[in-house]
Amino acid sequence: MKSLKDRSVVVTGASRGIGAAIARAFAGEGCRLTLCGRNMRLLEAVAASCELPETSISTVTADVREPSGMKKIVDTAYEKFGKVDIFINNAGVGYRRSIIEIPEAEYDATFDTNLKAVFLSFKELIPRMKKQGGGQIINVSSRAAKKSDPGIAVYAASKAALDKMSESVANEVRGDNIRICVVAPGYTATELVSKPAASKLDRSLLSTADVAGAVVYIARQNDNAWISMVDLQPLISRK
């Protein structure tokens, strides 16, 4: 497995939860980080927890759902570090409501954040990665794409679409030394999971560090090795 030291890594949705854990995990590998979110105070707190010199970390507030926002994120990384080796599409939203109760605005927000933002990242990154000789894009999906519980139909559909889009684009660009990978975690102790469940030491929940570890594992594969999908679940299944 290769070293990630000094690799330029971008993490969206980095201000909390899985994104913050991913940022800290790559900081531990000696990477140079660009952290994106919508709350600069929270981003700066995560950046401080990474314990990297100022020359090795950057924070940027942007809306990943907007073309201008995604361009701002990618431009920031290229301007500071000269390239993007690994881009992690982690930003995501989800709502637990029955299909007849979910408002159209929440449907749009779910697909715009979970799917459109990744589409926009492909548009920004792929031409630049081709020019620099390759790169890696890791998309955080969900096991809900394959096994969906009641009340998360829209969220599950957005993640299923993400999986298929990632698969197709991966086959478009693998000849350009660009690897597109998907990590699909099961229930994880974040704000998207009910607070009573997440507050327990519940072995039926993954930790954010579990997910971050899987992302780093993918990134550390040798250049000719491609892990296209990781289906990550807790050892103990939920009842």
Contacts with 218 (C-beta within 8 Å, 6 or more apart), sequence order: 136, 138, 181, 183, 227, 230
Which segments of 29-176 does DSSP mark as H helices, in order? 40-50, 67-81, 104-111, 117-132, 153-173
Catalytic residue from among 107, 155, 187, 217 = 155
Continuous segment of H or E residues that includes residue 229: strand 229-232
Closest alpha carbon to 70 in 132, 24, 137: 137
The first and second tokens of residue 220, run together, are 């550390």
To the query of whether residue 155 is one of the catalytic residues in this protein, the response is yes
β-pair type (86-89, 32-37): unpaired
Residues known to be catalytic: 155
